[in-house]
Amino acid sequence: MDELKERIERLEYHQKLLLGMVQPVNKDFDLLIIKKGMTEREVEEFSQLCEELTDEMEKQKAEKFVFHFPLFKQFTSRLNGKLKPEETIQACLNQKVHPELMKILWLNIK
């Protein structure tokens, strides 16, 4: 059992080293997921959050909302604790993950 644990720890260490060597091209969000050690389920929950907020954003646009701070507040309060809002939004913008939503959310950071 100790040998298995050592092997896993070595693999995790090697993965961190490899991440430092990789030069992602427009894969900032994927890289963030790996660096933060997120699970597939956590990423699916993030996507679901973004889809819900996108729907809400579309409703707000139809109602001629100009300020989307409530969306930003919802995003930050429901965002996985492993992620920071600013770096997540920037990574999503760079990788074009939920771009319309991320543009609106980014306006609340600047």
CA distance 43 to 79: 11
CB atoms closer than 10 angstroms to residue 92 = 22
The answer to whether position 15 is within a domain reads no
The answer to whether position 39 is within a domain reads yes
Nearest Cα neighbor of 50 from 69, 78, 26, 70 is 78
The answer to whether position 79 is within a domain reads yes
The answer to whether position 11 is within a domain reads no
> pTM for the complete prediction?
0.81
The answer to whether position 102 is within a domain reads yes
50: left (phi over 0), alpha (psi -120 to 50) or beta: alpha
The answer to whether position 16 is within a domain reads no
Nearest Cα neighbor of 79 from 107, 40, 42 is 42
| Count of domains for the chain | 1
Q: What is the CATH number of the domain that holds 103?
A: 1.10.3750.10
Domain housing 66:
25-107
The answer to whether position 6 is within a domain reads no
pLDDT in tens, 49-105: 999 999 999 999 888 887 889 999 999 999 999 999 999 999 999 999 999 999 999
Task: Report which of residues 24 and 42 the model is more confident about.
Answer: 42
* Contact in structure between 73 and 109 (CB atoms under 8 Å): no
Task: Report which of residues 27 and 54 the model is more confident about.
Answer: 54
The answer to whether position 86 is within a domain reads yes
CA distance 23 to 4: 30
* Contact in structure between 37 and 22 (CB atoms under 8 Å): no
